[in-house]
Copies of this chain bind each other. A is one copy, B any other.
Amino acid sequence: MIKVGIIGSTGYAGGELVRLLTAHKHAEIVWYGSRSYIDKKYADVYRNMFEIVDNVCMDDNMEELAERVDVIFTATPQGLCASLVNEEILSKVKIIDLSADFRIKDAATYEKWYGLEHKSPQFIEEAVYGLCEINREKVKKARLVANPGCYTTCSILTVYPLAKEGMIDMGTLIIDAKSGTSGAGRGANVSNLYCEVNENIKAYGVTTHRHTPEIEEQLGYAAEEAVVLNFTPHLVPMNRGILVTGYAKLTRDVSDEEIKAIYDKYYADEKFIRVLEKELCPETKWVEGSNYVDINFRVDKRTGRIIMMGAMDNLVKGAAGQAVQNMNLMFGLGETEGLELVPMFP
């Protein structure tokens, strides 16, 4: 039984980790960290957990956790994990960081987009970017995994095969993304109130959203060139789900079948990626509550562009599900353990 500690267990991503790990056959949460709710029963904060979780919330103590658990998940604001981690801790415990601290290989880029000084640049090189479908082998050997962002997971997986195979002109790539409101977190802000979000849609973080450099870096590795793109997120009145719509010029005249073959080459054996049948557009509802990413595309002969679409649950494959997938790989478990979640509809 893998002993798990969670730092930041009472945010939405933390809560989803608890939902998934509670049902995981080979893991057991022994530390529910939550600076905001210390000594409060976890099930009083998330009442879905009544009679399922009896623990109380604990402070964020990574040193003590390193002694008591096999793996720490940090589902915390940017900067916290980097400020706590050190070599002694990493020598005792594996860390899966759901924040952005170790996702970007260039500390200067991190500091520019996040407006934070990086407190542990010495571990950036070692950290593995935990997008399992792409970095599976590296994850298996990692001590420190940077769990990808929600928008980035969906964006990268949707575009990756075509970038890798040189099918699209990376300089023309535009990603227009739409997210449910759980992505904004559980903070008590007026802009996240029911009445402000409901019956409303807006773009935000236009040209400045922090997931931009993460997408650029990873797609740059795939395309083997520097990538600069526009990424525009939108807030949608729903709890869960991210939909990504990507646009790019094709590098050559190509048929739907050729594109489909490329997606299949990379994803046919991937349990959690479903390339849909012809003409079907991904919908977030069809993957809700599960670790799936549904992907499809449409070639437009009129404009010479391809429209790529990807849908997933931002709290599962976009956060907690992918984190558990990383844990499974790091501990040699079956990769789908605890993640064979059937999407809930309606």
Contacts and interface: CB of A to CB of B under 8 A. Distances in A.
Interface of A: 12, 15, 19, 22-23, 46-52, 172, 174, 176, 178, 180-182, 186, 188-190, 192-204, 206-207, 228-230, 232, 234, 236-241, 243, 245, 247, 274, 276-277, 280-290, 294, 298-300, 302-303, 305, 307, 309, 311, 340, 342-346
Contacts of A48: 285-288, 290, 342-345
11 contacts: A47-B276, A199-B239, A199-B241, A201-B238, A201-B241, A206-B307, A207-B299, A207-B307, A228-B302, A237-B237, A239-B346
Copies in the complex: 4
Given A195-B239, A289-B289, A234 B178 contact: yes
A287 B344 CA distance: 14
Contacts of A190: 186, 188
Contact of A285 (B52, B196, B204, B232): B196
A19 B344 contact: yes
Contacts of A230: 247, 300, 303, 305, 307
A276 B200 CA distance: 17
Given A12-B195, A197-B194, A346-B198, A174 B247 contact: yes
A200 B238 contact: yes
Contact of A234 (B186, B189, B245, B302): B245
Given A195-B186, A346-B196, A47 B245 contact: no
Contact of A344 (B193, B241, B309, B344): B344
Contacts of A207: 298-300, 302, 307
A161 to B, nearest CB: 18
Contacts of A241: 199-201
Contacts of A345: 15, 19, 46, 48
A154 to B, nearest CB: 12
Contacts of A239: 194-195, 198-199, 346
Nearest to A313: B344
B194 A237 contact: yes
Nearest to A244: B203
A206 B286 contact: no
Contacts of A49: 342
B201 A193 contact: no
A187 to B, nearest CB: 8
A346 B12 contact: yes
A26 B345 CA distance: 23
Chain B CB count within 10 A is highest, among A46, A198, A234, A236, for A198
Given A12-B195, A48-B343, A181-B194, 17 more contacts: A48-B285, A48-B344, A50-B286, A178-B178, A178-B234, A180-B199, A188-B190, A194-B194, A194-B237, A195-B346, A198-B239, A198-B346, A199-B240, A200-B283, A203-B243, A229-B303, A232-B245
B238 A346 contact: no
Contacts of A195: 12, 181-182, 186, 192, 239, 346
